[in-house]
């Protein structure tokens, strides 16, 4: 089978590898559609602590079950499926506390390699985070399950009751999904981005695009109820509290490079009761929620899909992304 490997930043190689044999509880999925992701792009540009190099590349997928290992329940050969690439171990100290996204083993046991003709899914993913794809959902949209699971995650804690306005900073794929989700939940959304293309998409998704100074002055000078940081840049993390009203909340969603540091005005945090909320990854419950949103077609996420490439031309997709062109590309094996 044909499989893409990220060898080092900027270098993807296609290799012929052997079709994996599923062990007990595992399945092999014939990838119909894979999607590029911001994490993949970070790895392609500068390397990523959670994506080993050289190694298999890609983690957003949907396709058909090709083979099943012994004891797989609920899936058989030929079933169209959509899934994510990780699942908690259910045994560690964090899983015991129900903090499944923070599972101590979740990153080591994830399945990379969606940019390939086939991907092997381990038992813990099959049993927790793999779903049947309904016929009315296209494979492209089904492949958005993983990033959407991440996007819904913080809203389990940051409840939207009483939140009328939100500012989304950075409107790449993740920012655009936050916009779609917040709009669905009835929140008035403002958006900021340095790219004209992304600003256009933000407005297509229903956000009001603003400039920096306007963002500060918004809502009769009161400030935003919620700010969602989606750039992963130190200075934006730092600035994100400036747009909040007293008692407001920031969701710090964009991961910064290793070793980044920010400092905040203690006055704002204490006297203005501002809450900083970090958000990482997703739990099986978030995947279920994202699955519902996709299959009930409650969000229109088609503006996120910027074009498509065959697996052989995958480098071209990353070249465009590196130039800031496009949001997500469909990769077809």
- Residues numbered 266 to 305 that lie near Zn ion (CB under 5 A) are none
Q: Is the sign of the CA dihedral 105, 81, 119, 46 positive or negative?
A: negative
For Zn ion, which stretch binds (CB under 5 A), given 142-150, 166-174, 304-312, 319-327? 142-150
Query: How many residues in the chain?
Result: 333
* Binding-site member from 28, 37, 51, 331 for Zn ion (CB under 5 A): 37
For Zn ion, which stretch binds (CB under 5 A), given 139-147, 155-163, 204-212, 270-278? 139-147
Query: In the complex, what is the shortest distance from the CB of residue 103 to Zn ion, in angstroms, rounded to a whole number?
Result: 3
> What's the CA dihedral at 297, 251, 176, 260 to 10 degrees?
-140
For Zn ion, which stretch binds (CB under 5 A), given 33-41, 62-70, 225-233, 279-287? 33-41
Query: In the complex, what is the shortest distance from the CB of residue 59 to Zn ion, in angstroms, rounded to a whole number?
Result: 6
DSSP string, 231-271: S--HHHHHHGGGGEEEEEEEEE-SPPPTT------HHHHHT
For Zn ion, which stretch binds (CB under 5 A), given 72-80, 133-141, 145-153, 248-256? 145-153
Residue 190 or 253: the one with the smaller Cβ distance to Zn ion is: 253
- Residues numbered 46 to 105 that lie near Zn ion (CB under 5 A) are 88-89, 92, 95, 103
> Which residues, in sequence order, are CB contacts of 276 under 8 Å at separation 6+?
241, 249, 250, 252, 264, 269
Q: Is the distance from CB of 295 to CB of 2 less than 8 angstroms?
A: no
Residue 100 or 243: the one with the smaller Cβ distance to Zn ion is: 100
* 160 CA to centre of own chain: 20
For residue 48, the SS3 value is: strand
Residue 31 or 95: the one with the smaller Cβ distance to Zn ion is: 95
Q: Rounded to 5 degrees, what angle do the CA atoms 271, 156, 269 make?
A: 10
Residue 112 or 202: the one with the smaller Cβ distance to Zn ion is: 112
Query: In the complex, what is the shortest distance from the CB of residue 155 to Zn ion, in angstroms, rounded to a whole number?
Result: 18
Query: In the complex, what is the shortest distance from the CB of residue 269 to Zn ion, in angstroms, rounded to a whole number?
Result: 31
Query: In the complex, what is the shortest distance from the CB of residue 223 to Zn ion, in angstroms, rounded to a whole number?
Result: 31
- Residues numbered 221 to 250 that lie near Zn ion (CB under 5 A) are none
* 77 CA to centre of own chain: 28
List C-alpha distances in Å: 101 to 39, 104, 107, 304. 17, 9, 10, 25
Query: In the complex, what is the shortest distance from the CB of residue 94 to Zn ion, in angstroms, rounded to a whole number?
Result: 6
Instruction: State the residues that interact with Zn ion by CB under 5 A.
Output: 37, 88-89, 92, 95, 103, 146-147
């Amino acid at each position: 089978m044909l499989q893409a490997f990220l060898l080092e930043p900027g270098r993807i190689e296609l290799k012929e590898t052997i079709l994996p044999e599923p062990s007990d509880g595992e399945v092999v999925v014939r990838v119909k559609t894979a999607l590029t992701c911001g994490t993949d792009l970070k790895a392609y540009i500068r390397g990523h602590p959670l994506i080993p190099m050289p190694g298999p590349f890609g983690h957003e997928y949907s396709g058909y079950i090709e083979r099943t290992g012994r004891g797989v329940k609920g899936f058989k050969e030929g079933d169209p499926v959509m899934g994510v690439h990780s699942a908690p171990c259910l045994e560690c100290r964090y899983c015991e506390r129900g903090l499944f996204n923070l599972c101590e083993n979740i990153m080591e046991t994830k399945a990379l390699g969606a940019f390939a003709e086939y991907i092997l899914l381990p038992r813990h993913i099959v049993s927790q985070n793999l779903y049947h794809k309904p016929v009315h959902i296209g494979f492209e949209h089904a492949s958005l399950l993983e990033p959407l699971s991440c996007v819904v995650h913080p809203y389990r804690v940051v409840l939207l009751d009483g939140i009328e306005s939100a500012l989304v900073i950075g409107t790449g794929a993740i920012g655009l999904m936050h916009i779609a989700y917040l709009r669905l939940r009835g929140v008035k959304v403002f958006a900021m981005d340095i790219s004209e293309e992304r600003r256009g998409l933000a407005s297509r998704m229903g956000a009001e695009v603003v400039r920096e100074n306007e963002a500060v002055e918004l809502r009769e000078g009161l400030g935003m109820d919620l700010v969602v940081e989606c750039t992963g840049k130190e200075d934006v993390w730092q600035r994100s509290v400036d747009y909040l009203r007293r008692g407001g909340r920031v969701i710090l969603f964009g991961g910064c490079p290793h070793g980044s540091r920010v400092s905040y005005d203690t006055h704002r945090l204490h006297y203005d009761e501002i809450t900083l909320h970090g958000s990482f990854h997703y739990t099986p419950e978030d995947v279920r929620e994202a699955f519902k949103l996709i299959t009930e077609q409650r969000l229109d996420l088609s503006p996120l899909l910027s074009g498509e490439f065959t697996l052989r031309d995958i480098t071209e997709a990353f070249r465009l992304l590196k130039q800031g062109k496009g949001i997500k590309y469909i990769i077809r094996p």
